[in-house]
Chain A
Amino acid sequence: MSILVNKDSRIIVQGFTGREGSFHASQMIDYGTNVVGGVTPGKGGQTHLKKPVFNTVEEAVINEGANVSIIFVPAIFAADAILESANAGVELIICISEGIPIKDMTKVKHYLNTTNSRLIGPNCPGVITPNEAKVGIMPAQIHKKGRIGIISRSGTLTYAAVNQISNQGMGQSTSVGIGGDPIIGSDFIDILKLFEKDEETEAVVMIGEIGGSMEEKAAAYIKKYYNKPVVAFISGQTAPPGRRMGHAGAIITGGKGYAKEKMRVLRDNGIHVVENPAEIGSTLKEILKKKF
């Protein structure tokens, strides 16, 4: 098992024929991901990367039974792309696009609550279940099939963590990039719940960062309900307050969102917090050794 995506997922790419969409879709296909087509309005009926192109998501759902969508459209069109997929009944929507205005996301977030669609992202690297499906922009070769679940607000930092885990001889069940924006579709708790139910996942690595209080909420949830070991790293321990550290969501405001506070709350709730980002893999290995 795994979570969110597997070899049976029927994936479409929104923004399929664009530069980013084409580049990453071809990498996904090379990995063996079950990409069933793509959507570019006005290019319906064409073939791209040997897959059918549709004008709308709805057409792709009807013709190909698509149940997962990955979005590569420019930020100003991305909220619309998410809404279109949700409206067409796509179960899982993964939005890679960065820079969606927060006002647009408030509407998307509340609309999604009225549907059965789950959103991952935006501003995220996507989701990968090694050897089954890569629905994202992560470098495939660093991933290995295994039993560690990963949830992260970051992109490249996740790759660094995955690399450490793979180098320690462990693999990943699924790695989920939840995104670096202030408003995202799924948070730590949403994904923790899925990993809890997944028999293949033995432990979870959580990579958080400054801003918001998603990590604190996850900490309380873990203490109350969680049975699997969790290792956490929080980036931005040295970030100055009031500055947006690249990610729109990574900002300390009104005295809230400090890394130190998040780390303290996580520790107080029994989570293994790693201070040195180069020691995520080794710490995880130590903990799993003790457990068995």
Chain B
Amino acid sequence: MKIHEYQAKELFKDFAIPVPEGMVAYTKEDTVEIAEKIGYPCVIKAQVHAGGRGKAGGVKLARNRDEALGFAEEIIGMHIKNLQTGAQGKKVRKVLVEKGVNIVNELYLAIIMDREKAMPVVIASSEGGMEIEKVAEEHPDHIFKEYIHPITGLSNFHSIILSFKLGLNKTEQRLFSELVSNLYKLFMEKDASIVEINPLVITDTEELIALDAKVNFDDNALVKHSDIMELRDTDEEDPFEVEASKYKLNYIKLDGNIGCMVNGAGLAMATMDILKYYKGDPANFLDVGGGTSEERIKEAFKILIADKNVKVVFINIFGGIVRTDIVAIGVVNAAKSMNINIPVVILLRGTNEKQGRKIIEESGLNFIAETDFKKAALKSVELSRGDKDVNSCK
């Protein structure tokens, strides 16, 4: 799960990690009021779950009231686009207004979970304020890593090694060690998957301040952290995805027109892959998961149908944990209660597949039942094309 920068900074404060004085604003009036209070120059930063805010013009330095007002008008309501947000981009609904600081030096500091080594790793760089991927490419020798054994945890020497590599002076070293220790505490206590400070700045008053803050959390651990769960901002998510998550459905919206309902993440991805292989276009990734109930199948169906791009639904179920007869009942009941007027191709295999197929066949629904993956995929692609014409005539 992602949170906003201003939320991450609140969390930083709880862990005694220094951040600039600031507040979040939802309107231009509030922006100006906060700016007047904290004084100029101040920084106005778009709060949105997307990278590249600076490049998109979502971060501005205001030197007086007029500039603060002007930038607030500009930033609130703008759309920030990047690879992950898609063509539409993400709308900025709020800004963080922060006191400006006098920067002497910019560093980079992050802790992430390294899956290969199965340990957290502290990453530091003397090249703060740049994209870390770019630094990795251009100056790999300016990136320093310390792996933390999960059983012993962070030790003081880790921070000392890093601070020497970063070339910090004695005061900075002390502040840096303290900060790394607090950041590691946050990372572990809150089950974060990433904590990143870019840049971590050294000011003219010899302070170490987190000028930016990014924190992501391990979704699997959220059940343990109700305080973190409250930070979720569903405005930043696709409305279909929000709806799906209520029913514990793994759904990711894509741009195509073949709605997919699949059990199991691997098979769901492979279903998208085969559609693309046959020049079709999946409308989504949807894993209905293990132990799927009739209710969840119904909800999955509703979400697929609600996507107006969807011209055909391809249901691909291979029963292991989930029994195919249960899926069949869910599909039949959902379809009957919903008046579905687009074609549905259904492929049922695995546990109780005969019973499942029988339920579909006896339902009186006009579903296309297939027994072969290739044929079912080809049929779905064919129908997605045919329907395009029909619909464009409407």
**B-binding residues in A (CB < 8 A):** 20, 24, 75-76, 98-103, 105-107, 109-111, 125, 137-139, 142, 152-160, 163-164, 180, 182-183, 207, 209-213, 233, 235-250, 254-255, 275-279
Contacts and interface: CB of A to CB of B under 8 A. Distances in A.
Interface string B144-185: 000001110000000000000000000000000000000000
B218 A154 contact: no
Contact of B84 (A98, A110, A212, A241): A241
Contacts of A255: 133
Given A20-B321, A125-B320, A155 B220 contact: no
A243 B151 CA distance: 29
A159 B270 CA distance: 12
B216 to A, nearest CB: 10
Contact of B118 (A105, A160, A213): A105
Contacts of A159: 318, 320, 349-350
A109 B318 contact: no
24 contacts: A20-B291, A75-B220, A101-B218, A101-B220, A103-B191, A110-B151, A137-B321, A138-B320, A153-B266, A155-B290, A156-B262, A156-B264, A156-B267, A156-B320, A157-B266, A160-B349, A209-B269, A237-B273, A245-B268, A246-B268, A276-B277, A276-B374, A278-B373, A278-B377
Contacts of B219: 244, 248
Contact of B273 (A98, A212, A238): A238
Given A101-B191, A163-B349, A241-B83, A275 B277 contact: yes
Main secondary structure of the interface of A (DSSP, over half): loop
Contacts of A138: 320
Of residues B193, B250, B262, B273, which shows the largest number of chain A Cβ atoms within 10 Å of its Cβ?
Answer: B273
- Minimum-distance CB pairs A-B, first 7: A154-B266, A246-B265, A156-B264, A157-B266, A101-B221, A106-B150, A277-B270
A69 B320 CA distance: 19
Contacts of B268: 245-246
Interface in B99-139: 113, 115-116, 118-120, 133
B393 interface: no
Given A103-B191, A248-B219, A154 B282 contact: no
Nearest to A136: B320
Nearest to A250: B265
A156 to B, nearest CB: 3
Interface size class of B (residues with CB under 8 A): 35 or more
Main secondary structure of the interface of B (DSSP, over half): mixed
B252 interface: yes
Interface string B365-378: 00000001110010
Contacts of B113: 102-103, 106, 182
Contacts of B372: 278
Contacts of A99: 220
Interface string B204-245: 000000000000001111011000000000000000000000
Contacts of B119: 106, 110
B276 A237 contact: yes
B19 interface: no
B188 A103 contact: yes
